[in-house]
Amino acid sequence: MAISSAFEKAIAENSPQLNGSESGGESPQKNLKPLRATRFSEIEAKLVKWLWPPFIALGTFNLFEGEEGIGKTFVSCAIACGVAAGKGLPLVPKEEHIEPSNVVLISAEDSLSYVLKPRLESMDAPCERIIGCEEPFALNPEGIVRLKMLLAEFEPKLIIIDPLFSYTGRINLDRDSEIRSVTDELKRLAETFECSILGIRHIGKSKGFGDARNAGLNGIGWRASARSVLLVGKNPENESQRAIIQTKNNLAPISEKAIGYKIADGKFHWTGESDLTAKTVLSSIRPETSEETSEKQDAMSFLQETLNKGRQPTKDIQADARQCGISDATLRRAKTALNIQSIKDASQNGKWFWQLPEDAPEDAQKKQGEHLQLNNTNKTSYTNNLTEDAQGVTSEHLRTCSNCNLEMKLVENGTLWFCPMGCGSIKVSQEKSEIPEEVKDENNFENDQ
């Protein structure tokens, strides 16, 4: 087939079919033009320009994440101060300092007058170059246009959005296509204005079970879209020891050096290089609060009542749970606690279903609905928060509890076996405890099930 005829066939198969009145009597294909494309021989190769090498590059969307109360806002103010002053960012040689540049701080949680201004002044920040915005808006088409107008007016080199999810509107934060509707626009803005956009987000209660790829809240698409991801955390054995650790870098090797900091007497201080790692700061799991435990138990009762009738479509369960006021995160924790299975039915066009575990005795299923006990060895609350692939790994990743004969689960980055009934735990050797690569991101809740 000739190229022209193949082209015409492709257009015919993929174009909307309009009647004569709608198309003016002409074939709609005649008005179409091919997608714009350029030969790579005509494309100019460009070097990456850094705002803070190797942590933040110009023209990119990036993430800055950490648990609540760790000092993310204080650190973001320190970064803003360094950019505005053109100096003071750690690990940047004097000859590589950027020119003093404008910074935009978009804040939904902290008052510009009562919180951010005092913190900036405590750092001797050049406040004339730091612009604050606390007006509510959403990163929808209208909000993107308004943000573009703000960037055109002040021409900042850094925009910090704190927190990112306060500005995402009503999109599904777990659905990749809706995530991209936000991150793609932010990426275009960063490229157009040659600036860096830094979105701040919290990490989950499980801290990704020690894996930084799974630590951040909501879908994996947020991390996938970011060119650099910075994790801020502390040493669980020494809360005064805190640091920024890079956990992703698409434009250069990940920095092997963590950046230490401290907050003392209401003032922020960089403390130089730190030996903290992502694994260290993500190693401890915060126990559930009484409110979270109550919410999970309600969700477990909802799931048991729903699934006692047999397997049900995943999306129907999620929709019914939301109508009952059960969040996706709480539903996920309840699902994991009950060891509910996810089944993909090929006869139903690959539709996902949830069902109670087939191989668990009825009394065991009831026991798993009770409040989970604390482990007697280290008082860590067992959450059993593994995804389907992790629950279905091969026998070398499963053990049986000598007390109750239930299968134990490998968690905490593959270093501890926990009994689902809280009987105890067994520490295993590091070389035999790796979680298989096929274990999925625990945040990708709705897309794959």
Whether pLDDT at 21 is above 60: no
pLDDT level of residue 26 (50, 70, 90 thresholds): low
Instruction: Put the strands of the sheet holding 312-313 in their side by side order.
Output: 312-313, 351-355, 341-345
Section 179-207 average pLDDT:
94
Distance separating alpha carbons of residues 232 and 374, to the nearest angstrom: 28
Least confidently predicted of 91-100, 136-145, 153-162: 91-100
pLDDT level of residue 81 (50, 70, 90 thresholds): very high
Stronger pLDDT, 23 or 241, i.e. the higher one? 241
Per residue in 245-269, pLDDT tens? Answer: 999 999 999 999 999 999 988 899 9
Distance separating alpha carbons of residues 164 and 202, to the nearest angstrom: 9
pTM for this one?
Answer: 0.63
The string over 343-370, giving b where at least 16 C-beta atoms fall within 10 Å of a residue's C-beta and e elsewhere, is eeeeeeeeebbbebeeebeeebbeebee
Bridge pairing between strands 228-235 and 60-66:
parallel
Would you state the pLDDT for residue 435? 36
Whether pLDDT at 57 is above 60: yes
CB 300 within 8 A of CB 334: yes
Would you state the pLDDT for residue 277? 93
In the chain, the N- to C-terminal Cα span, in Å, equals 42
Would you state the pLDDT for residue 381? 33
Q: How crowded is the C-beta side of 183, counted as CA atoms within 13 Å?
A: 23
Stronger pLDDT, 195 or 415, i.e. the higher one? 195
Would you state the pLDDT for residue 350? 84
Amino acid sitting at position 63? L
pLDDT level of residue 446 (50, 70, 90 thresholds): very low
Which among 231-240, 380-389, 411-420 has the top mean pLDDT? 231-240
pLDDT level of residue 441 (50, 70, 90 thresholds): very low
Per residue in 126-143, pLDDT tens? Answer: 999 999 999 999 999 999
Q: What is the mean pLDDT of the chain?
A: 80
Distance separating alpha carbons of residues 133 and 149, to the nearest angstrom: 13
Task: Report CA-CA distances (Å) from 342 to 83, 346, 433.
Answer: 48, 13, 24
Section 179-197 average pLDDT:
96
Task: Report CA-CA distances (Å) from 194 to 45, 167, 253.
Answer: 16, 22, 22
Q: Structure tokens of 281?
A: 């700061």
3-state secondary structure the chain: CCHHHHHHHHHHHHCCCCCHHHHCCCCHHHHCCCCCCCCHHHCCCCCCCEEECCCEECCEEEEEEECCCCCHHHHHHHHHHHHHHCCCCCCCCHHHCCCCCCEEEEECCCCHHHHHHHHHHHCCCCHHHEEEECCCCCCCHHHHHHHHHHHHHHCCCEEEEECHHHCCCCCCCCCHHHHHHHHHHHHHHHHHHCCEEEEEEEECCCHHHHCHHHCECCCCHHHHHCCEEEEEEEECCEEEEEEEEEEEECCCCCCCCEEEEEEECCEEEEEEEECCCHHHHCCCCCCCCHHHHHHHHHHHHHHHHHHCCCCEEHHHHHHHHHHCCCCHHHHHHHHHHCCCEEEEEHHHCCEEEEECCCCCCHHHHHHCCCCCCECCCCCCECCCCCCHHHHCCCHHHCEECCCCCCEEEEECCCCEEECCCCCCEEECCHHHCCCCCCCCCCCCCCCCC
Section 365-393 average pLDDT:
37
Least confidently predicted of 225-229, 234-238, 308-312, 384-388: 384-388
CB atoms within 10 A of CB 51: 24
Would you state the pLDDT for residue 273? 94
Section 308-331 average pLDDT:
92
Distance separating alpha carbons of residues 426 and 410, to the nearest angstrom: 9
Would you state the pLDDT for residue 5? 62
Per residue in 60-78, pLDDT tens? Answer: 999 999 998 889 999 999 9
Whether pLDDT at 320 is above 90: yes
Instruction: Give one word for 59, left, alpha or beta, with left for phi > 0 and alpha for psi -120 to 50.
Output: left
Distance separating alpha carbons of residues 410 and 418, to the nearest angstrom: 7
Q: Compute the Cα dihedral for 279, 282, 284, 285 and give only its sign.
A: negative
Distance separating alpha carbons of residues 328 and 147, to the nearest angstrom: 30
